[in-house]
Amino acid sequence: MEYTTLKQISREKDNSKVKVRVLRMWDAINIANNHDLLSLDMILVDEEGTLIHASIRKNLAQSYRPQLNEGSIYTITNFLVEENKGNYRPVYNKFKILFNSTTSVSKLSGLDHSIPQSQFEFADYGTIASRCYDTTYLTDVIGILDYIGAIEEIKTRGRPTKLRNIQLLLEENKSVQITLWGNTTQQIDDDFYKTNKGPFIVIVTSTIAKTFRVAEIKALEWNSETKDLLVTCNAKIININNKYGWYYVACLICKTKVKQVKGVLWCERCKNEPKFAVPSYRIQVQVQDETNSTTFILFDKAAEKIISKTAKELAEMQEEILKLDEKILPKEIQKIVGNEYLFQLHLDEYNLKYGKENYTVSKILEMEILHKQNDSSKVEEHQDTMEEIVRKSKQEKYIASQKQEIRETSVERPERMLLQMHQKRQKGTKQIASKKKKTEL
């Protein structure tokens, strides 16, 4: 009987025989119900590099568990094929394999290099950001390790657990913070990391992307690695503080506030008298999410995106009605109160080191008027190690042996761009090591 490729299987075929390698295997558990086992799950790959999610329900899991090992190759027959629906899909495939009581598993002995030993679906920063409000697929991430936090003890759902934050620098020179949970916090060997120069390449699988919450932003601390950060945050504008007005007169060239010196306008940054000076937005808004409230500052580009008018246009409209006064808030600006947006914030020493809560909005992201409103975040040419891993993954569809990976994790840092991700928790992990020879932590 010839083997069926994973691309060829379908719900209509009931006699398929596949030859696959078990790449990853984990226990799916019910966190809300005493961590009860739901199923034994796997990622399988065939010689064409096609990935598929396979699952064994809990009543059969213990029967099949002794027969299966990560890294080994098997022939599998008499399995069910169903549509891959729902959220938290670990790979991109329209089908999913289900074991039943008659499924046959046979291990193949000997070396076989025809099937990839590792396979991932790495997401770039844009894909990660687009998944902040879409949990259809879990996300695989690869990057250079550039920060490791301490292991912390916390309680979730009344149970003690451990977490650890690390930061990865992606190929696009944007960073993500990854929260490791449970046993995975131990997978980074601190001594190895501290006594070797690196670079250390980390691969994190099956993560969920989330934005920062207000309370988390306020808790961020300054250190030598994070002097400036770009973070994303979903929050609602609940008030506008117009004590200092909604615009300032800016130099057209550098956007710095101009001053009157001896009867003429003066730009301190340009060190000259600007030929043109125009009103520019500076709107101080109070925002809130389910965790806390704080103050964001909207400047020209961000403000224009949600107001749909420039500060100059708004100032001219207001001047036609009454004497121009930046303390009077135009109705076009008042309309943003009550709306929820996805903000990209620039945090600097002023915020991180000195704890000031006036956070600068650098951009309103494309997902700005969120789902609730039915409108629904330079590495100078990365080291050769990074380029080689990505090249092999894309062209050869696998990263050659000598590898291990962090799983059970969760995904955030700056320009490095900071986005937060949380793991789809799974059980069962490997150990970590990394340097040029070992490309996964």
Tell me, what CATH number does 405's domain have? 2.40.50
* Residue 164's pLDDT band (cuts 50, 70, 90): confident
Residue 375, judged by CB atoms within 10 A of its CB (0-12, 13-18, 19+), counts as: exposed
CB 250 within 8 A of CB 312: no
Count the domains in the chain.
Answer: 3
* Residue 96's pLDDT band (cuts 50, 70, 90): very high
More confident position, 45 or 271: 45
The pLDDT of residue 31 is 75
* Residue 198's pLDDT band (cuts 50, 70, 90): confident
**3 in any annotated domain:** no
* Residue 192's pLDDT band (cuts 50, 70, 90): confident
d(CA 287, CA 295): 6
Q: Tokens in use for 242? A: 């117009």
Mean pLDDT (the chain, rounded): 79
Beta bridge partners of 202: 143
**181 in any annotated domain:** yes
CB 238 within 8 A of CB 286: yes
* Residue 231's pLDDT band (cuts 50, 70, 90): confident
Mean per-residue pLDDT, 244-273: 84
Q: Which domain holds residue 200?
A: 125-211+380-423
d(CA 439, CA 389): 8
Same domain, 293 and 170: no
Residue 174 to residues 128, 168, 193, 406, Cα–Cα distance (Å): 11, 8, 22, 20
**10 in any annotated domain:** no
Q: Residue 307 pLDDT > 80, yes or no? A: yes
CB 97 within 8 A of CB 44: yes
The secondary structure of residue 108, as a DSSP letter, is P
**113 in any annotated domain:** no
End-to-end CA distance of the chain: 40
The pLDDT of residue 400 is 32
Same domain, 331 and 387: no
**34 in any annotated domain:** yes
**269 in any annotated domain:** no
Q: pLDDT per residue over 273-304, tens digit each? A: 887 788 899 999 999 999 999 999 999 989 99
Mean per-residue pLDDT, 148-159: 76
Nearest in space to 10 (alpha carbons), one of 100, 83, 87 = 83
CB 86 within 8 A of CB 76: no
The pLDDT of residue 322 is 52
Same domain, 415 and 366: no
Same domain, 233 and 316: yes
Which CATH number belongs to the domain containing residue 344 in this structure?
2.40.50.140
Same domain, 194 and 243: no
Domain's final residue, options 107, 141, 174: 107
